[in-house]
Amino acid sequence: MGIEEIIKRIEEEGKKEAEKIIQELKKELQEKRKALQEEAKKIKEEILHRAEEEAKREKERILLTHQLEENRKLLQQKASLFQQLFEKALSMVEKDKNIYRDWLKKEILQAVEPGEAVILLPKEEEELLDHDLRKTLEKKVKGKLEVKVLPKAEAIILKQGRKEINFSLREALKEIQDRVKIKLNQILFS
């Protein structure tokens, strides 16, 4: 074997070795490219998933906010209607002195106890405490019943011992209104 053949053989082996190295590098490069593409795909899917979840949460938040606003408006309308009904009831009772007198009689008779009593009356409501009601109260009190008419008083007040009860129709309706509101809230929010 001559030098030329040896050189040729070395060159062929070198080429084969180089080709083999190149093929291995190409294969390794393809594997790395494939792994990077798969990683990029996973990252992309994860980013899309997060974006979808965030969009879903944002949509739910917007819908919930809208629903809460609609509920708030509805509750305001109901509260306004509720207030109008109580104002109308107050107006009706104030116009019909018989309804007011019957209510007042019932309330005072329930509240009064045996012992001295003082009833303070506004001047404009003096006729509501008529003779019959005074006699009934005197019997129930079984003691001294004093009735004072006060020009600047705003409601009928019963004083008995340490107890003082305000018989303002507006206050009584407000108390009823408050109780009804509490019951409505319990029904609505429980």
The domain spans of the chain are 1-95, 97-189
Q: Which amino acid is at 52?
A: E
Prediction pTM value: 0.50
Distances, alpha carbon 138 to alpha carbons 55, 124, 125, 132, 174, in Å: 75, 22, 19, 10, 29
pLDDT for the residue numbered 188:
67
Return d(Cα 164, Cα 76) in angstroms, integer: 35
Edge-to-edge strands of the sheet including 163-166?
145-150, 117-122, 157-160, 163-166
Q: 119 and 146 in contact (C-beta within 8 Å)? A: yes
13-48: pLDDT as tens digits: 888 888 888 898 889 999 999 999 999 899 999 999
What's the DSSP call for residue 126?
A: G
Q: 128 and 99 in contact (C-beta within 8 Å)? A: no
Fold exhibited by the domain 97-189: hypothetical protein PF0899 fold (3.30.2320)
Distances, alpha carbon 119 to alpha carbons 114, 116, 141, 157, in Å: 14, 10, 12, 6
pLDDT for the residue numbered 43:
93
Nearest Cα to 85, choosing from 189, 184, 186?
184
- Report which secondary-structure segment, H or E, holds 146: strand 145-150
HSE-up (13 A, CA, CB side) for residue 135? 3
Q: Locate 97 and state its tokens.
A: 């002195």
75-98: pLDDT as tens digits: 788 778 878 888 887 788 777 777
pLDDT for the residue numbered 30:
93
106-162: pLDDT as tens digits: 888 888 888 888 888 888 777 777 788 788 888 888 878 888 888 887 788 888 888
